[in-house]
Amino acid sequence: MNRTGTSVALVSAALLWAGVAPLAAWQRAADDSATAAARRFLDAAEKDLAIRSVGLNRAGWISENFITHDTELLAAAAQAEVALALKRLVDQARRFDGVALPAALRRRLLLLKLQLAAPAPPDSVDALEMTLLGAGLDADYGRARYCAPTPRGAASCRNLDDLEHVLAQSRNPDSLLDAWRGWHATAVPTRDRYARFVALANAGARAAGFADAGAMWRAGYDMPPDSFVAVVDRLWQEVRPLYLQLHAYVRQRLVARYGAALVPPRGMLPVHLLGNLWGQDWSTIADVVVPAAPAQGGGGPDLTAVLKQRQVSAVEMLRMGERFYTSLGFDSLPATFWERSLFVRPRDRDVVCHASAWYIDDPTDLRVKMCIEPTADAFRTIHHELGHDFYFRSYKNQPFLYQAGANDGFHEAIGDAIALSVTPRYLQTIGLFDSEPPATGDTLELLRQALDHAAFLPFGITIDKWRWEVFAGKVAPDQYTKRWWELRGSYGGVMPPVARGPTDFDPGAKYHVAGNVPYMRYFLAQVLEFQFYRALCRAAGSSGPLYRCSYYGSKAAGRRLAAMLELGASRPWPEALATLTGQREMDATALLDYFQPLMVWLERQNRGAPVGW
Ligand SMILES: [Zn+2]
Please tell me the distance between residue 532's alpha carbon and the centre of ligand 1 in angstroms: 16
pLDDT in tens, 78-124: 988 888 898 899 889 989 988 999 989 999 999 999 988 988 898 88
pLDDT of residue 391: 96
Residue 342 pairs in a beta bridge with 369
Annotated catalytic residue, options 72, 164, 322, 385? 385
DSSP 494: E
pLDDT of residue 533: 97
Please tell me the distance between residue 125's alpha carbon and the centre of ligand 1 in angstroms: 33
pLDDT of residue 365: 92
- Please give the average per-residue pLDDT across 228-242, as a whole number: 97
pLDDT in tens, 391-427: 999 999 999 999 999 999 999 899 899 999 988 889 9
pLDDT in tens, 525-575: 999 999 999 999 999 999 889 999 999 999 999 999 999 999 999 999 999
Q: Which of 22-36, 173-187, 283-297, 508-522 has the lowest mean pLDDT?
A: 22-36
Cβ within 8 Å of residue 24, ≥6 positions away: none
Please tell me the distance between residue 388's alpha carbon and the centre of ligand 1 in angstroms: 7
- Please give the average per-residue pLDDT across 489-498, as a whole number: 98
Q: How confident is the model at residue 28 (pLDDT cuts 50, 70, 90)?
A: low
pLDDT of residue 45: 96
- Please give the average per-residue pLDDT across 162-191, as a whole number: 97
Please tell me the distance between residue 13's alpha carbon and the centre of ligand 1 in angstroms: 12
For residue 582, count other CB atoms closer than 10 A to its CB.
10
182 pLDDT more than 50? yes
- Strand residues in 119-233 grouped as ranges (E): 145-149, 155-159
pLDDT of residue 19: 36
pLDDT of residue 17: 37
- Phi, psi dihedral angles at 163 (to 5 degrees): -70, -35
Please tell me the distance between residue 293's alpha carbon and the centre of ligand 1 in angstroms: 33
12 pLDDT more than 60? no
pLDDT of residue 31: 57
134 pLDDT more than 60? yes
Annotated catalytic residue, options 64, 445, 512, 529? 512
Please tell me the distance between residue 392's alpha carbon and the centre of ligand 1 in angstroms: 12
How many whole angstroms separate alpha carbon 216 and alpha carbon 467?
A: 12
Please tell me the distance between residue 5's alpha carbon and the centre of ligand 1 in angstroms: 5
Please tell me the distance between residue 381's alpha carbon and the centre of ligand 1 in angstroms: 8
pLDDT in tens, 541-550: 998 899 999 9
pLDDT of residue 511: 93
**Mean pLDDT for the chain overall:** 90
Cβ within 8 Å of residue 335, ≥6 positions away: none
pLDDT of residue 280: 97
Cα angle 288-291-295, degrees, rounded to a multiple of 5: 140
pLDDT of residue 138: 87
Please tell me the distance between residue 143's alpha carbon and the centre of ligand 1 in angstroms: 21
pLDDT of residue 20: 38
CA 150, 156, 157, 160 torsion-angle sign: negative
pLDDT in tens, 362-388: 668 999 999 999 998 899 899 999 999
588 pLDDT more than 70? yes
Protein residues placing their CB within 5 Å of the ion ligand 1: 4, 6, 412
CA 114, 576, 388, 45 torsion-angle sign: negative
Which of 54-63, 219-228, 585-594 has the highest mean predicted lDDT (pLDDT)?
Answer: 585-594
> Can 385 be counted among the known catalytic residues?
yes
> Omega before 363 cis (within 30°)?
yes
> Can 165 be counted among the known catalytic residues?
no
